[in-house]
Structure 1
Amino acid sequence: METMKAARFDTETTTMEVTDVPVPVPRPGEALVKVAACGICHSDLGLIEGYIPSPLPAVTPGHEATGHIAALGAPTPGWDEGDPVLMAAGRACGRCADCVRGHPMDDCLNPEIMAFHYDGAWAEYVVVPVAALVKLPREADLVNYAVLADAVSTPYAAITGTARLAAAESVGIWGLGGLGTHAVQIARMLGAAPIIALDPIEETRARALEVGADHAIDPRGEDTVRRIRELTDGRGLDVAIDGVARSATVPQANAALARHGRLVLMGVSPDPVELGREDVFALSGHRVLGHLGYTRRDLERLVRLVHHGRLDLSRSVSEVLPLDRVHDGVRHLAEHEGTPVRIVIRP
C-alpha cells in the first residue's frame, strides 16, 4: 500500500477530514503499526477546540492505540512483524540535555506527545518509536486494550505515582468520564476507603457506584464539601483527583482535603483557577500536584493486571466506530451522548 486513510486536522482552519495520505515509512528505531483500535480522548477535543495547541500546521489525532507491527525500520531484537502491541503516546525529543546525555525516555525534559507533536493513530497505519511499544498477549482484545494508553494509564500513574495513594486512605474523584471511571476502579484495586465520586451527570454517578465507588455526589450542591467531610468522619480527603480541572472543581476539591491532603490536577482545561487565601492554604499543609501522562512501565503493569484478571475493561468501551465516522465519535464525546466511558475508532 502506498496510501492510507487518515483523519487530518488542520490547525489553522480547525477543520478535520478523513482523506488519503501516504503510508509513513519507519526509520531505524521505529515501527510501522497497522492500527487495530484508537480511542477518542478529551485531550483530542482540546486539540480540535483549540485550547491544547499543536505546533504543526496539520496533524493526525489519536493517541490511545493498539495494532500489529507491519514493518520495522531496522531489525530489532525482541520484535517481529505481526506482534500485537500497545503504543505509549509519547517520545523523547532527542535534543534536550537529558536526551543528549543518554537518559531514559521518561527523563526527557521536553517530551513530544503523539497526536500533537507528531501524527497519531486515527489512521490505518502509524509510525511510533520501538521504545514506545508494549507487547500484548496474542489473545488480547485490541479494542479494550487500546484504552490503557491514557484512559487507564493516566489515572493509574496519577494515583500510584503523583498522589502516592496508600491503602485505607480516602479519595475523592471529580469527573467520571474515561479517566474518572477508571480512577475509581484503580483506587478500589489499591484499597482506598472511602472512595467518593463526583459528577453532575446522574448516569455517570450510578456507573461509578457500579465499578467501585462507595459514594457518589453531585458536586453542584451547596453542601458538597460538608457531605464529603461527613463521609470521611470529619477529616476530609487524603487525596483529591480532579479529572476536569475547571474553575469550580479545583477550589472545591482543595476545600474538601484533610490536613496535609494532596490535590492532583489530572484534567486539562483552559480555566483560570484559584485556591483561596495563601495563609489558610499554607496552614492546612495542602499539596497541589500537576499530573500528565504515564510511563511505559505503567503500561506494562496495566497489561499484566488486565491479563491476570485484576482489572476489568469489559465496560470501558461504550461505542466502536469506523474511521469515516470519527466526526460522530468526537461529537458524541463532546455532547456526552450516551455518557460514554470511551469511544473507540477501528480503522
Structure 2
Amino acid sequence: MKAVRLYEGSELRIEEVPEPESGPGEIRIAIQAAGVCGTDLHAARGLLPVPDLPVIMGHEGAGIVDTVGEGVTDLSVGDRVLLLPSETCGTCSACQRGHLGLCPRAQIFGMARDGTFAEKVVAPASCAMLLPDTVPFEHGAILADAVATAYHAVSTRAGIEGGEGVAVIGCGGVGYHAILLARLLGAERIVAIDASEGALRRAEAAGADVMLDARADDIRKAIRRAAGGDGPDVVIEYVGKKATVELAIASVARGGRVIVGGVGMESPELGP
C-alpha cells in the first residue's frame, strides 16, 4: 500500500509499505479520508519531536473496517468509522475520569505509532467510533480532532455564554471551528487574529466580527479595542508559540479566561 512517511531531517516520502495486520483487540481501517492538522505540519517541519522515525504520518482519519482482530465484538467488517487521534491506556486516573487527552501514556497516531496518511491503518478497536451514513468521510475524518478540540476549548473549558466577547488567536482548522462554535454558543463579538490573509477570510466566513493581522503594531491594544470594554472575556490561543500565549494573557479582560490550545515547545512567561 502507499503511505506518507516522515524521516529524519524533516524528509517526507510517499512509498510502498506492507499492509499492517490487525492483532487481538485491533481493527484495520481502509482509510477513505484524512485530515492534515497543524500538528502534522509542525512535526514535518521539525518543530515538534517525533520519537521513532520513520513513521507514517496523520492522526485524523475515517474509513471502512476491513479486518477485525480476535476479541473485537462491537465492530464488524464494513462498518464506517472515524479514528480518535491517539491510543490511550484506559487505566490511568485521567482515562478513568474520561479525560483521554490527559493520558500520560497516550500514543498519538502519526507520531508515536503509524497513522492515517496511508491506504490502511491498524488501531485498537477502542480508538474507533461508528460514523453515520449521513456523515461524509471527509467530515468524519476531522470530527475527533479539529472539531472536538475546538468544542472542548470553547464549551467545556471556556464555558462561553451568550453575550460574551471572544478572541481567537490562530485561525487555522481548529481556530476556524472555535469561531463557528463560539457563534453557535451565543458569543456577542468575536475577534479573529492571524498573520494569514486566507485564514482571516475564512474566519470572517465562520462568523468573526473583526479580523486583525497579528503582525500589526501593538496588536494587544488592537484586540482589546476591537473587543470593546476592557478586552475580550475569553481568549483562545491556537498557535502554540511563546509570543502568542503571552499575547492571549495580556489581551484578556480582567477576570476573563485564557484557553491555550496550541501545541509547541516554547514556555511562555507569566506576568505579575
Amino acid corresponding to residue 198 of structure 2 in structure 1: E
Pair 1:8 & 2:25 matched: no
The Cα shift of 1:262 comes to 1.6
Q: Name the counterpart of 1:296.
A: none
The Cα shift of 1:119 comes to 0.6
The Cα shift of 1:46 comes to 1.9
Distance 1:123 1:181 in 2: 26
The Cα shift of 1:109 comes to 3.0
Contact 1:92 1:112 in 2 (8 A): yes
Q: After TM superposition, list the pairs within 5 Å mapping 1:188-199 onto structure 2.
A: 188-199=183-194
Q: Name the counterpart of 2:20.
A: 24
Contact 1:169 1:193 in 2 (8 A): yes
Among 40, 43, 46, which residue is 2:39 paired with?
A: 43
Deviates more, 1:102-111 or 1:207-216: 102-111
- Which string of whole-angstrom CA distances, capped at 9 and with x for unpartnered residues, describes residues 237-277 of structure 1? 1111111132332222211111121211111234443333x
The Cα shift of 1:93 comes to 3.7
Amino acid corresponding to residue 160 of structure 1 in structure 2: S
Contact 1:92 1:105 in 2 (8 A): no
Q: Name the counterpart of 1:268.
A: 263
The Cα shift of 1:196 comes to 0.8
Superposition TM-score, scaled by structure 1 size: 0.72
Root-mean-square deviation (Å) = 2.3
Pair 1:126 & 2:121 matched: yes
Distance 1:102 1:256, change over 3 A: closer
Pair 1:60 & 2:64 matched: no
Distance 1:200 1:6 in 2: 32
Q: After TM superposition, list the pairs within 5 Å mapping 1:304-323 onto structure 2.
A: none
Q: Identity percentage over the alignment?
A: 37
Distance 1:5 1:222 in 2: 47
How many residues are paired up? 271
- Which string of whole-angstrom CA distances, capped at 9 and with x for unpartnered residues, describes residues 273-321 of structure 1? 3333x2xxxxxxxxxxxxxxxxxxxxxxxxxxxxxxxxxxxxxxxxxxx
Among 166, 171, 179, which residue is 1:171 paired with?
A: 166
Distance 1:78 1:270 in 2: 38
Distance 1:214 1:114 in 2: 36
Distance 2:96 2:257 in 1: 33
The Cα shift of 1:89 comes to 0.9
Amino acid corresponding to residue 125 of structure 2 in structure 1: V
Distance 1:104 1:174, change over 3 A: closer
For structure 1, the residue ranges without an aligned partner over 5 or more in a row are: 279-347
Q: Name the counterpart of 1:136.
A: 131
Superposition TM-score, scaled by structure 2 size: 0.90
Contact 1:31 1:72 in 2 (8 A): yes
Structure 1 consecutive aligned stretches of length 4 or more whose deviation exceeds 4 Å: 96-99, 101-105
Distance 1:105 1:178, change over 3 A: closer
Distance 1:271 1:102 in 2: 30
Q: Secondary structure at the match of 1:137?
A: coil
The Cα shift of 1:206 comes to 2.5
Among 132, 145, 148, which residue is 2:143 paired with?
A: 148
Q: Secondary structure at the match of 2:255?
A: strand
Among 206, 216, 226, which residue is 1:221 paired with?
A: 216
